[in-house]
Amino acid sequence: MFDAPGEKAEWVRRMFARIVPAYDRVNSVMTFGMDRRWRRATAAAVRPRGELVLDVATGTAELAFELIRQGARYVVGVDFVTEMLAVAHEKTAASANATAIQFAAGDALSLPFADNTFGALVNGFLLRNLIDLPGAFREFHRVLKPGGRVACLDVTHPPGMLRPLSLAYFNHVVPLIGGTLSGDFAAYRYLPRSLNELPDADGLAQIMSDAGFSAVGYKLLNFGLIAIHVGQK
Ligand SMILES: C[S@@+](CC[C@H](N)C(=O)[O-])C[C@H]1O[C@@H](n2cnc3c(N)ncnc32)[C@H](O)[C@@H]1O
């Protein structure tokens, strides 16, 4: 789909900037509201209570809000699309979380934070968009404090007999719902294609181990179409 990694990164950036206005609504409709449950499980996996947590690719800050609900002391949300961050700011300012969440522009592949800064780190629906997965996990490892936990939520390659059903939904229904609600069919056709470039759940766990994480594992949800990968520095 892309000739060079840089081309993909730029396409991803422009695509997310375009779909910001419809982003939350499309997510909620095309997942039948289950995205909230997945974010709850992702936040819980890093045991955020009392921690300074980094939400990489925060988007409209839904995962950041969930971390605060689960007792995180402070959340920093980072994203490389300023249009997403503008919505995140607006939502945060209008909520009770205004003093507990802060946002920063930055790339997951070169995080603007010092080594050993965060007690926990999460990301939601980021991994398929990256042009250097091992590099991203090395960055996550670098900015975490020793003992800090990571949890990554994303679509994965569904295993077994339910694979055809899950893929039919993801390849055909999701682009239709997303395209119709957002008016941007190209963005939501990219979604299933982006999965092709992601390793399967075991492959991703191996990348995490190679980056230095221990206690690596994953949990599959929704007929194996959704994975939450966890690890510890
Ligand atoms: C599908 S959205 C997910 C947003 C949010 N985490 C959620 O759970 O709804 C993906 C986000 O990743 C961001 N993103 C993609 N690649 C990135 C990168 N290399 N560095 C930082 N943010 C990135 C996009 O701008 C977008 O906001």
- The pLDDT, as a whole number, for residue 226 is 94
pLDDT band, residue 1 (cuts 50/70/90): low
Residue 43 lies in a domain: yes
**Residue 182 covered by a domain:** no
pLDDT-derived band at 169 (thresholds 50, 70, 90) equals confident
In a domain, 166, yes or no: no
User: Residue 199: its pLDDT value, please?
Assistant: 96
Best residue among 16, 29, 76 to mutate for probing ligand 1's pocket (most ligand atoms within 8 Å of CB) is 16
SS3 of 42, please? helix
Question: Which residue matches tokens 């990694």?
Answer: 5
**pLDDT at residue 171, rounded to an integer:** 87
19-42 confidence digits (pLDDT tens): 999 889 988 888 888 999 999 999
3-class DSSP state for residue 97?
coil
Rounded CA-CA distance 157/224 in Å is 7
User: Which residue's alpha carbon is nearest to atom 16 within ligand 1?
Assistant: 129
Question: Taking CB atoms and a 6 Å cutoff, what residues make up the pocket around ligand 1?
Answer: 12, 16, 57-59, 62-63, 79-81, 84, 107-109, 124-126, 129-130
Task: Return the CA Rg of the chain.
Answer: 17
pLDDT digits (tens, 9 = 90+) for 93-140: 999 888 899 999 999 999 999 999 999 999 999 999 999 999 999 999
- Which residue in 164, 178, 148 sits closest to 15, CA to CA? 178
Token code pair at residue 179: 């395209």
Q: Which domain holds residue 67?
A: 5-159+198-232
Q: What three-state secondary structure class fits 4?
A: coil
- Mean pLDDT, residues 189-218: 94
Number of domains in the chain: 1
Of the candidates 118, 119, 139, 121, the one whose C-alpha atom is nearest the C-alpha of residue 130 is 139
Ligand 1 centroid to Cα of residue 161, in Å, is 31
Please report, for the domain that includes residue 105, its CATH number. Answer: 3.40.50.150
Return the pLDDT at 160: 77
Among 78, 82, 111, 129, the mutation site with the greatest number of ligand 1 atoms within 8 A of its Cβ is 129
pLDDT, one tens digit per residue, over 55-91 is 999 999 999 999 999 999 999 999 999 999 999 999 9
0.75 cut: is pTM over it? yes
